[in-house]
A and B are shown apart, each in its own frame.
Chain A
Amino acid sequence: MLTRRTSGEGPAPLALGALGLLGLAFFLAPLAGLVLRSPLGRLPETLLQPGVLSALRLSLVISLGALGLSLLLGLPLAWMLSRGPLEGGRVIRSLVLVPMVLPPVVGGVALFAAFGRRGFLGSALEAAGLSLPFSTAGAVVAAAFVAMPFLVVSVEDALNSVDRRLEDAAATMGASRMTILRTITLPAVAPALGGGAALCWARALGEFGATIMFAGNLEGVTQTIPLAVYTKLPVDPDGALALSLVLLAVALAVIVALRGRIRGL
């Protein structure tokens, strides 16, 4: 190509537009199919069946538990990576990201290796009377393992872009580190914290692989919505589809709520 084409000529934009529309249809068709096939007219009574209702309740408890655990441990971790002793620790930062990329079912095997009753930490927990595998607490651990990185990454990212001069100025005026954290740093990262928490919660809500491996699949104890969808599809397609619809609605709600909060959404 010796001469450069001016923009607006030729068939490229048309082809791009067609492919773009195809791309849109590719995403929307399965979602539309899910809605079309689901028992919309009987949604309330389908969702009120005992097995379905317990999955809804459990999913709420487990995903919120995972979010709580992520906030409790993930926020300090993000702070340490950005400000504390691990500042700039690239290797550790990369390790924190691993669960985001690791297939969740491998995460489940890894959780057994650590917290299972033959795991190197789990045997001690077991001796202390705390058994995580096949328990609701275990499902919280599995979900948090997979979901916490989403929170850590967005908060750490926001911490890194806080204007350090403000913190330094406050420090020279005699503010304690805790006061600086409370009055300057936390308000500055609040939007990212909200967004990260929402992503973390949504990921925990959708957790499947690590949960079914490490926490097992038992109605009322560890059978969350995704596990119930998988288990019920052969025997109770209506229940499975109704639950799928709930997750779809939550996904849409999260995306809408995050618009403008996180760049790229």
Chain B
Amino acid sequence: MRRGPRVVAVVGAMLLLTACGGGDGEETGGEASGDADLVVYAASSLTEAFGEIGSIYEDENPGSTVKFSFESSSTLASQITEGAPADVFASADEMQMGVVEDEGLARDPAPFVTNRLVVITPEDNPMRVENVEDLAEDGLKLVLGGPEVPVGAYAREMFGRLGVLRSAEANVVSNEEDVKAVVAKVRLGEADAGVVYRTDVTSEVEDDLQVIEVPRNASPLAVYPIGALSDAPNPGGARDFVDLVNSEPGARVLRSFGFGLP
């Protein structure tokens, strides 16, 4: 007779697991724990730089806390149009900012940084990748951001400029949900190469990766817009944060992580 409870536990566990299946990135719910809280939705390539700018903001505004949600800009844009209580949105391309703007949800977004693509391979570079064209070689395992994710869209634009889009696409083994996931799979050595932003090769990961530069004429210039959101629960804080990002101290941090200025 000990069967009943156990089966209930099994079903309970199943429901629990199914429930946690999807969301690994939505921890910043924006629950108001004080007026001073600021919720920033930012492209995952901004993780390190915005972390530092967030500390500066908190130092300048004692008592306030910045909460970040770093995900692909496409995921963030759809969360914002679903009514996510965010104050600021920083997108890795103008298209995803456009999605938010079209809904009338962003106030005067403007470009604040630029970024370039690089090719990364595991440290031992198993397929001996020497240049971008090598990514189109037969049998190479390539991971990119999905076509809807900015870094994936830029990468495809790059392959198009080089005239190897079709053969490179044929090598794609996974369309990752954001750029950090591309870095993770290459760093684990499970993929032979990936295309990421220059700024993703941070000090934490550079020892595990080889970086191959993309020629200037092949790499699209990634332009990142930032804007306060119209429905921001904390409009004053949103404005202050955008101002800080555009200020000289903000620009210094962004440059130190390898971003360009528009």
Contacts and interface: CB of A to CB of B under 8 A. Distances in A.
A104 B74 CA distance: 23
Interface in B1-51: 3-4, 6-8, 10-11, 13-14, 17-18, 20-22, 24
A216 B175 CA distance: 7
A255 B146 CA distance: 34
B188 A104 contact: no
A212 B20 CA distance: 14
Given A234-B78, A263-B3, A263-B4, A103 B10 contact: no
A134 B191 contact: yes
A133 interface: yes
A154 interface: yes
A202 B176 CA distance: 25
Interface in B177-216: 177, 185, 188-191
B10 A150 contact: yes
Contact of B21 (A161, A206, A218, A233): A206
Interface string A210-254: 001001111101110010011101110100000000000000000
Nearest to A237: B78
Given A112-B188, A117-B190, A203-B14, A157 B173 contact: no
Contact of B146 (A100, A207, A231, A263): A231
Nearest to B172: A218
B190 A101 contact: no
Contacts of A222: 174
B188 A154 contact: no
Contact of A157 (B6, B21, B191): B6
B143 interface: yes
Contact of A112 (B14, B143, B190): B190
Contacts of B17: 100-101, 104, 146, 203
B22 A263 contact: no
A118 B190 CA distance: 7
A31 B122 CA distance: 44
Contact of A216 (B7, B77, B99, B174): B174
A116 interface: yes
Contacts of A202: 14
A157 B7 contact: yes
Given A100-B17, A157-B6, A207-B21, A212 B75 contact: no
Interface string A86-128: 0000000000000011011100000010001110000000000
A117 B14 CA distance: 30
A247 B239 CA distance: 42
Contacts of B231: none
A216 B143 contact: yes
A28 to B, nearest CB: 15
Contact of A118 (B99, B141, B146, B188): B188
Contacts of B188: 112, 116, 118
Contacts of A10: none
Contacts of A209: 20-22, 24
Given A218-B172, A230-B22, A154 B148 contact: no
A234 B13 contact: no
A150 B148 CA distance: 36
A218 B143 CA distance: 10
Contacts of B172: 218
A208 interface: yes
A56 interface: no
Chain A to chain B: the 4 pairs with minimum beta-carbon distance, closest first? A216-B174, A134-B173, A208-B21, A234-B78
Given A118-B190, A199-B10, 20 more contacts: A100-B13, A100-B17, A112-B188, A116-B188, A116-B189, A117-B190, A134-B174, A150-B10, A153-B6, A157-B3, A203-B14, A207-B21, A209-B24, A218-B173, A218-B175, A223-B175, A230-B22, A231-B175, A262-B11, A263-B3
